[in-house]
Amino acid sequence: MKRVLIVEDQADIRKLIRMTLEFEAYEIHEAADGAYGLRLAQAVHPDLVLLDVMMPGELDGLQVCQRLKSDPVTRPIKIVLLTARGQARDREAGQAAGADEYLVKPFSPLQLIDTIERLLETA
C-alpha cells in the first residue's frame, strides 16, 4: 500500500483531500504545519507528499520541499505542491525547490487522483 502524507494548515482542505484519497488504496498521514510535516515525512517515508505552499509557522511548503529533496534519504519521495498561486514565477519557485508537480487550488478530486497515480506509477 502506497503512503501519502498531506501537509496542509487548513483542516477543511485536509479533510477534503483525505476523503478523496480514501476511495483509493492509500495509507494516509496528515500534518497541519511544515515543521511537523517535515518530521513526519522523515519518520514514515511516504511515497508521495501533498504539500501546501503557504503555511504559517517556521517552515512553508517550499522550505519543506527543499529540505526533503536535499536529503538523500527523502529525495525519492514525490512531492506535489498545492497552492492558490499559479503564476509562472510561483511555478518556477516550486520547480527550484524540487517539486515533482504543482497543482493550483481549487483543483478537482479527479485531477488530484490522476496526478498522484501518474507520479506513483514512476516511483
pLDDT by residue (tens digit) across 82-111?
998 888 898 899 999 999 999 999 999 999
For residue 72, what pLDDT is reported? 97
CA dihedral angle for residue 85, residue 91, residue 95, residue 97, rounded to 10 degrees: -30
CATH number of the domain bearing residue 116: 3.40.50.2300
What percent of the residues of the chain are helix, what percent strand, and what percent coil, each to the nearest 5?
45, 20, 35
For residue 16, what pLDDT is reported? 94
Q: How many domains does the chain have?
A: 1
Return d(Cα 14, Cα 19) in angstroms, integer: 9
Percentage of the chain beyond pLDDT 90 is 87
pLDDT by residue (tens digit) across 1-47?
999 999 999 999 999 999 999 988 899 999 999 999 999 999 999 99
Cα dist from 35 to 14, 28, 65, whole Å: 16, 18, 11
* Residue 123: pLDDT band with limits 50, 70, 90: low
Domain of 112 in residue numbering reads as 2-121
Nearest 5 degrees, angle CA 85-CA 91-CA 94? 105
Give the 3-state secondary structure of residue 22. Answer: coil
